[in-house]
């Protein structure tokens, strides 16, 4: 999924982080409602430290927490160095 800032309406261009949060939440909800993932065990999201942004990480963590409360699923996030196995 690609979101080009210049294609957003001018009144939403400064809200890119909020839009990111909304998109992440909607994608997570679609995954949970489609039964693509078994929920018997904790779900772990792993990201490379090199490919992350502190502000977006915080938004992602917030989105994960919100969705995990709704679906009562144990989700964790790990940010690892690029040389670690993912």
Give DSSP secondary structure letters for the chain: ----GGGS-GGGGGGHHHHHHHHHHHHHHHHHHTT-S--SS-EEEEEEGGG--HHHHHHHHHHHHHHHHHHT--EEEEEE-TTS--
Q: What pLDDT, on a 0 to 100 scale, did the predictor assign at position 49?
A: 67
Domain limits of the chain?
A: 15-80
Q: How far apart are CA 59 and CA 65, in angstroms?
A: 10
pTM: 0.61
Q: Among 52, 55, 73, which residue's Cα sits nearest to residue 64? A: 73
Q: Give every residue of the chain whose pLDDT is below 50, as ranges.
A: 86
Q: For the segment 55-67, what is each residue's pLDDT rounded down to a tens digit? A: 667 777 888 888 8
């Amino acid at each position: 999924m690609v979101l080009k800032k210049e294609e957003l309406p001018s009144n939403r261009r400064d809200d890119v982080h909020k839009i990111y949060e909304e998109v992440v939440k909607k994608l997570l909800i679609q995954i949970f409602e489609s039964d693509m993932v078994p929920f018997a065990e904790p779900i772990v999201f792993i990201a490379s430290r090199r490919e992350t942004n502190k502000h977006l990480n915080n938004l992602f963590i917030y989105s994960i927490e919100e969705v995990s409360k709704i679906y009562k699923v144990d989700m964790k996030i790990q940010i690892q160095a690029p040389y670690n196995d993912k």
